[in-house]
Structure 1
Amino acid sequence: MTAAGVPLRLDDPGVVADPYPHFAAARHRAPVQWHEGLGLWLAFTHAESNAVLRDRRLGRIWVDEQPVDRFASFNLIHRNAILEMEPPHHTRVRRLISSAFARGHVERLRPWVDQLARDLVDDMVERSGGEQPVDVLGGMAEELPVAVIAELLGVPHADRSLLRPWSNAIVKMYEYGRTPDTEDGAERAADEFVAYLRALADDRRRSPGDDLLSHLVGVRDADGDRLTEDELVSTCILLLNAGHEATVNVTGNGLLALLEHPDQLARLRADPGLLPTAVEELMRFDSPLQLFERTATSDVEIGGVTVARGQKIAALLGAANHDPAVFTDPGRLDVGRTENPHLAFGVGVHFCIGAPLARLELQASFRALLERPSALALGRPARRRPEFVIRGLAELPVVFTP
């Protein structure tokens, strides 16, 4: 199809249920196409999506949600988040955050995360009793990443139940066709989350510990620069929102894919050494983030079209990760796939800063699920969330059979 438009409705239940055939059909028409309904260009191929993510003339240009007084906290946490920054501001903030992460936080958590994953799976096995379906999303996938981020930041145990509802409410703002109630809920959650983290950061200034938040509070670069309080708060919220959503949805989407491909499930159980490769393949096969927007700061040619200054173009990550020009037989799940340059974590300056932590969590989750002698089977059909941009399940009922 030409630049006149793409017949791809992102709110169509059929597209939400399985977008990949729709991506393939569009990819045959043209690598980059205009979507009239969204008012932006869409990149359907790996090469063009990679270019969208790497080209420095395409930036993350944050524009406050309007009216600004209605979205004060939501705008604050995005205006000050590295995901919405470009160099040199992005370079400065990422350097400071990386300096705090470099103190070994991910590795110090590894044994704790492994044990937590085993404990959560043990609890699900006990509740299943070999007969009853247990929801893996609620039973493990959602609990583990929130607990890990909370442990990483040093959030007191009594407060950890607050984090997931805040995150869930905020990320609904990223979808198309949201309602006023959704918007009000997102702003309310952002406001409460910002206030909570300001108080927690203030406590760490008075009584620093060995957690990431304490190190973010105290980090300085060679010139004595430090994060502002708004940057600090936004960084913590981004770590939870991005880390929580990605890990939850790769766990759910990935386990469902394995259950629907029993040969690959059996292969992975027989050879646990494939686990790191399998996690990368699960991220490629059914990507948790399907769309990532950028804005042209000058005219840019991508895929044979000109993205004019001020126009938006989105990399369709799920489409890129199923491009047959890069991935042999992309619709086939292959837990041993080694040639796998997927874009699920992004590329370039915005490559996910939490990727090592996400990989740690995902490997721990799948290891705990697969090392049990119990057989895994769907207890009833999985239920998918109705959103397109952040792709995940609402429920994954599994029976653990001895």
Structure 2
Amino acid sequence: MEFDPRSPEFVADPYPAYRRLRESGRAIWYEPTGQWLVPHYADVSACLRDRRLGRTYLHRFTHEEFGRTPPPAEHEPFHVLNDNGMLDLEAPDHTRIRRLVAKAFTPATVRGLTPTIERLAAELVADLCADGGGDLLARVAEPLPVAVIAEMLGIPAADRGLLRPWSAAICGMYELNPDEATATAAVRASVEFSAYLRELIAARRRDPGEDLISALIAAYDEGDRLSEQEMISTCVLLLNAGHEATVNTTANGWWTLLRHPDQLELLRKDPQLLPTAIEELLRYDTPLQLFERWVLDDIEIGGTTIPRGSEVALLFGSAHRDPARFADPDRLDLARADNPHLAFGAGIHYCLGAPLARIELAASFGQLLRSAPGLRLVREPEWKPGYVIRGLRELLVEV
């Protein structure tokens, strides 16, 4: 099988194609998406840290100067929302916003959420067990991180059902070559989510609370504050980045464990393995398979010059199976100690929420291991069509 993100067979198991890509070179031109594929760990890691590459080019060039066509005007609500978040900004804007957000999203804030996260995980797993099983993805993997982010932001419980559909619609635009129906859904979700948050921010300005939105409003550094749009974009980013990866790591991770009963049994016998097990599950079947960067100045990878104006596709899934960096990379080893995976990125865009994600994953995996020792699969799951953010449609289990 060749690299083909549109193929269900490839999405279900991209790893043989990755092996062939690594064997064929270090930078491979892929005509269907107009990108240079980068499949080797060392190159992916270096590119994430290379300031000649960027998540945007608009801090230095216009679309026309960069040889790119501006997005359609009707897509503007999505781009306003997306382009004012940390993930798609470069210095100095990225530096300023991240510094301000970090004043609100502190390690102490994250640690303080641990009891809430463990309580929510225990309740969700108890409900699943009481019913004798069900869809682990819909019953545990999805609701936990959404509830945690909603709790952090101070979103009322009655409104939390809105968040996942908005997030899923917006994240559709991160796939390769999204179609017009995907763009229309993302624009609608961007408008609705932005309007909702604008009202919530106004309410917190009048009556501050202990939530993250109130802290973002109060965040102040060297005479600078976040604009309203930056706050809205930050909240949406925290939701999208803060749960998409966690949802898919949980479901993909359990699907991996159920296919490796020897490793699952090892983990059940030794719960102390859980921290390294989570890192290995993040490596072995990473939820974010591809991350894009624009080439702001000519670079060279493996003797191939990639000119300014190009786009590189950093293949995290391939990098994590690179034998040049990981011993026996196709083997699941929950005790793997040397595991510098890139699931949370690297460089200035390293995931601000990585500590929170690890707490959530430890809570849900730990609770399921303790409360559902007989957890077993009902039927083999299917993969959703998305490739960049790769996850299952459902994971039906019995306990």
Fold similarity call, TM over 0.5: yes
Q: How does 1:2-401 map to 2 (within 5 A)?
A: 7-61=2-56, 67-102=71-106, 104-128=108-132, 133-221=133-221, 223-372=222-371, 374-400=373-399
CA distance in 2, matches of 1:339, 1:90: 31
CA distance in 1, matches of 2:334, 2:2: 33
TM-score (ref. length: structure 1): 0.94
> 8 Å contact 1:259–1:377 — kept in the other structure?
yes
After superposition, the C-alpha distances for 1:241-295 in whole angstroms (9 at most, x for unaligned) are 1111100000010010000001111111111111111111000000000111111
CA-based RMSD of the aligned residues comes to 1.5
Against the structure 1 CA distance between its residues 363 and 300, is the aligned structure 2 distance closer, same or farther, given a 3 Å change threshold? same
SS at structure 1 position matched to 2:393: strand
- Measured after TM superposition, the shift of residue 62 of structure 1 is 5.7
> 8 Å contact 1:284–1:342 — kept in the other structure?
yes
SS at structure 1 position matched to 2:131: helix
SS at structure 1 position matched to 2:245: helix
After superposition, the C-alpha distances for 1:375-400 in whole angstroms (9 at most, x for unaligned) are 01101111211111111101100110
After superposition, the C-alpha distances for 1:305-326 in whole angstroms (9 at most, x for unaligned) are 1110111111100000110011
- Measured after TM superposition, the shift of residue 232 of structure 1 is 0.5
After superposition, the C-alpha distances for 1:76-135 in whole angstroms (9 at most, x for unaligned) are 11110111111111111110011111272211110110111011011011112xxxx510
SS at structure 2 position matched to 1:203: helix
After superposition, the C-alpha distances for 1:344-364 in whole angstroms (9 at most, x for unaligned) are 100000100111111111111
> 8 Å contact 1:52–1:313 — kept in the other structure?
no
CA distance in 2, matches of 1:390, 1:373: 28
> 8 Å contact 2:57–2:296 — kept in the other structure?
no
Opposite residue 92 of structure 1, the aligned amino acid is: R
SS at structure 2 position matched to 1:176: coil
Aligned residues: 390
Stretches of structure 2 lacking an aligned partner (at least 5 in a row): 64-68
Query: What fraction of aligned residue pairs are identical, expressed as a percent?
Result: 52
SS at structure 1 position matched to 2:113: helix
CA distance in 1, matches of 2:325, 2:98: 30
CA distance in 2, matches of 1:21, 1:37: 20
Give the stretch that moved more between structures: 273-282 or 103-112.
Answer: 103-112
Give the stretch that moved more between structures: 181-190 or 144-153.
Answer: 181-190
- Measured after TM superposition, the shift of residue 164 of structure 1 is 0.6
- Partner in structure 2 of residue 3 of structure 1: none
